[in-house]
Structure 1
């Protein structure tokens, strides 16, 4: 027996309405690119290293 068999009709309608991928409308916003994700996570920040007592930017 599956969980969906014990749910009422109204509950299943609610689940289908909020389920991911059920929206037929496309979002007006631009999709997030790989570069955007890297900037959000902080992997595109400048890195520094110590050289002879000074801290310099890594190239």
Structure 2
């Protein structure tokens, strides 16, 4: 048995009206994350270093 079966139709309508408004606000406020942002988050856009004759240099 689901919760929506035990709730009255009026309460269900009120909940849907409240929930749909809050979902819309969240989508419009959020900035979409680009591929470049994901690469920075995961750490793939960092500088890499390599040892050349005892020194550590950028690759």
Q: TM-score range by the shorter chain?
A: 0.5 to 0.7
Structure 2 unaligned regions, length at least 5: 1-11, 13-18
Superposed CA RMSD: 3.6
TM-score after normalising by structure 1: 0.54
Q: 5+ residue gaps in structure 1?
A: 1-9, 11-16
When Rg is computed on C-alpha atoms for both structures, the one with the higher figure is: 2
Task: Give the alignment's TM-score, normalised by structure 2.
Answer: 0.54
Q: Report how many aligned residue pairs link the two structures.
A: 54
4+ residue runs over 2 A deviation: none
Task: Compare the two structures and name the one with the higher helix fraction.
Answer: 2
